[in-house]
A = this chain, B = another copy of it.
Amino acid sequence: MATLSDIAVSAAINCFSALLFLFAFAILRLQPVNDRMSKCILKFLNWMPAALRMPEPELIQHAGLDSAVYIRIYLLGLKIFCPITLLSFAVLVPVNYSGENFEEMKTNMKDLTYSDIDKLSISNVAPGSSRLYAHIVMAYVFTIWTCYALYNEYMIVAKMRLHFLANERRRPDQFTVLVRNVPPDVDESVSEHVEHFFCVNHPDHYLSHQVVYDANTLAYMVLEKKSLQNWLTYYTNKFERNPNKRPTTKTGLWGLWGKHVDAIDFYTEQIETLSKQEEAEREKVLNDPNSIMPAAFVSFRSRWGAAVCAQTDQSHNPTVWLTQWAPEPRDVYWDNLAIPYVELKVRRLLMAVALFGLTFCFMVPIAFVQTLANLEGIQKAVPFLRPLIEIGSVKSIIQGYLPGIILKIFLILLPTIIMTMSKIEGFTALSTLETHSAEKYHLFLLVNVFLGSIITGTALQQLKEFMQQSPTEIPKTVGVSIPMKATFFITYVMVDGWSGVAAEILRLVPLIVFHLKNAFLVKTEKDREEAMDAGSLTWAVSEPRIQLYFLLGLVYSTVTPILLPFIVVFFAFAYLVFRHQIINVYDQKYESGATFWPDVHRQIIIGLMISQFLFLGLLNTKRATNATYFLIPLPILTFWFFRFSKGRFESQFKRFPLEDAMKKDTLERATEPNLNLKLYLQDAYVHPVFKGSVEFERPRVVDEEENSPLVATKRSIHREGKQGFREISSSSEDIMGISAV
């Protein structure tokens, strides 16, 4: 348990380290090799006003709705926690401070350390004291305020989404529906079957369709060819720089062994062979009916027709002809388009069991690997390292750090593992993959970071304990240790939250990765550009982490208000930084139109309800049983609020109402009566591998956002790989001389 001064020191250290980062970066920036990387944050001292100055509509136009709504999560945090902080400091801190349980506790619990912070927390209120009613009233006030803020925010985001969808330019996914599980037909090919089915059942609306090819092998070949070409460029450059000596390579894996050959000849030959194979594979995929998957992108004459098809059941067998809105073309996850219904259900079951295992037993495999990775194990596996290991210092390093490093490696790998699980579950869009991964990661953090920090021991042990306790005991067990962990979480907020955000503005991790890549992997200019990819918001990792701060703030709002300012600072700092990053650094991979908001809303309410149950448990241990009854309606009302807001808003994020579809259709028909929609949609949903390269062919159009006078962005160098279809649509509209509505 830290005292107040300890925490002040810790805060000072954290601020100092943040400054150190800035200083280090200023030096690094001077080296020419960092030059381009550093351009992103050239004016790192005057970015704050710039980041705040851009108005929201422009931000949406500039960075997309997803990003604009993402930073609203931080704003929501501020909206919720600023008034709560003020109120707790005005009401609860005085009540707690004058509680005078302190001296008593000090003498009673000699073994437990007891600090100044506890004087400001609920621990300082004597059990059974009528002061606890202040906390109960505050619990109600905080819940009502949180719900009000959540409701308000849901409404704002829903309006933003609506406005965004209404103003959105024409995009292929507005007219297209993804049809999966096309039933096999003995007489017709998949393509014919799809055409006939939709001609019959949507006669006035069906326009065209695009079958989905099983092009995984082909995509792999294309990737391999690209890599070979890169090597060829590397050796050609080498030869040009040093024309006297033709470079050589070895034929084996990664050029490490095998016989010596002339590198340029070798790679030229290899590329030729692969090109022929690729051509053959391409022919095969396009002509073999077996390589057509039982799925298709079906396009309609109007948004209305597509909206109808996406929202209705097509067949009386609900496992075939499954329709859903097509994801944006760049959002499609091609590998998962053809999973049969039963297999999908089995996959979901397996992944649910796996998620349970991952969350509650994740220490088991790690402990196992750690046992294997001890000294004896290593000596047995690689006997030639024995002399090295026997050196004293090496030995102690392995023994001291190896277990920790293995855990750290696992935690770094965790998002990838979770994403792989979501991929196995069979979702068909990248955005869906991300939201489902975020959900899993949220559960993991909740169990292993939040509960794991409060109750020592692994999650599995906790689960065992909980199973043997009564349902009313669990909140008590957890609740009673909550005030004691306040200082730990204050430190956590500073180390993980503040420093994490500081590292983000300095892009520390990408910088290190870039330098590592530059040193070991970069061979050609193209490689360097790829290594410099600015990255994008990693939703599946960032969002669950924010949720942890919401949870901490809500749990401690009634218990230890001193934690709240740290949360507020985190949200304020993060808001500024991410607003800046979104404007100046990140590339957007896809645009889902803020479909993730219901998840954010739900997870905050889960946090709110957890805080209520824990507070209930805590009060129970305070011998305030009568007071506790007043709290019972709180979770019930919160749950009702959840159901209410879900009914009120959620469908706006999942479905596209016919009224709006009709409005857009009518407007478009009036402004562009001669639009050739079929031509426009022709190649929208062709597998990227058939577009000549793995990446999409994109016409280079100067983007009007670049000329935004308010914030001078340095994104143009990253822009080449961005934009995608928005430009196609804008260029086609430009051709017709019509501005977007």
Contact = CB atoms under 8 A, between A and B. Distances in A.
A654 B470 CA distance: 39
* Copy total for this chain: 2
A204 B201 contact: no
Nearest to A649: B318
A636 interface: yes
Interface string A464-476: 0011111111000
B469 A648 contact: no
A385 interface: no
A643 to B, nearest CB: 7
A313 interface: yes
Interface in A337-360: 341-342, 345, 349, 353
Interface in A282-325: 307-308, 311-319, 321
A659 interface: yes
A652 interface: yes
A660 interface: yes
A657 B315 contact: yes
A246 interface: no
A399 interface: no
A658 B468 contact: no
Contact of A467 (B197, B201, B471): B471
Interface string A618-650: 000000000000000000100010011001111
Given A204-B204, A308-B308, A658 B472 contact: no
Interface string A650-671: 1110011111101000000000
A314 B470 contact: no
A220 B408 CA distance: 75
Given A201-B659, A353-B636, A467-B471, A313 B345 contact: no
A38 to B, nearest CB: 45
A316 B648 contact: no
Contact of A651 (B318, B349, B650): B318
B648 A341 contact: yes
Given A162-B316, A640-B349, A200 B311 contact: no
Given A307-B312, A311-B312, A643-B345, A468 B470 contact: yes
Given A312-B307, A469-B470, A471-B471, A318 B204 contact: no
A656 B314 CA distance: 9
Given A162-B316, A353-B636, A657-B313, A345 B662 contact: no
Contacts of A162: 316
Interface in A444-502: 466-473
Contacts of A651: 313, 318
Contacts of A659: 197, 200-201, 314-316, 321
A318 B470 contact: no
B308 A312 contact: yes
B657 A314 contact: yes
A471 B202 CA distance: 52
A345 B314 CA distance: 31
A53 B530 CA distance: 77
B201 A662 contact: yes
A469 B468 CA distance: 8
Contacts of A466: 471
A652 B318 contact: yes
A648 B312 contact: no
A400 B317 CA distance: 60
Contacts of A656: 313
A108 to B, nearest CB: 27
Contact of A658 (B307, B313, B655, B657): B313
Residue among A315, A353, A649, A659 facing the most chain B CB atoms (10 A cut-off)? A659
A638 to B, nearest CB: 12
Nearest to A643: B345
A649 to B, nearest CB: 7
A594 to B, nearest CB: 14
Nearest to A342: B644
Contacts of A311: 311-313
A575 to B, nearest CB: 28
A202 to B, nearest CB: 8
Nearest to A203: B662
A313 B312 CA distance: 10
Residue among A321, A644, A649 facing the most chain B CB atoms (10 A cut-off)? A644
A321 B659 CA distance: 10
A165 B472 CA distance: 50
Interface in A193-225: 197, 200-202, 204
Contacts of A321: 659
Contacts of A341: 647-648
12 contacts: A202-B658, A311-B312, A312-B312, A315-B657, A316-B657, A316-B660, A318-B647, A318-B657, A467-B471, A467-B472, A468-B473, A470-B471
Interface of A: 162, 197, 200-202, 204, 307-308, 311-319, 321, 341-342, 345, 349, 353, 466-473, 636, 640, 643-644, 647-652, 655-660, 662
Given A307-B312, A308-B312, A318-B657, 17 more contacts: A162-B316, A200-B659, A201-B658, A204-B204, A312-B312, A313-B651, A313-B657, A314-B657, A314-B659, A315-B659, A318-B647, A342-B644, A353-B636, A466-B471, A467-B470, A468-B470, A470-B473
The 6 closest A-B pairs by CB, nearest first: A313-B657, A318-B651, A311-B312, A349-B640, A313-B655, A468-B470
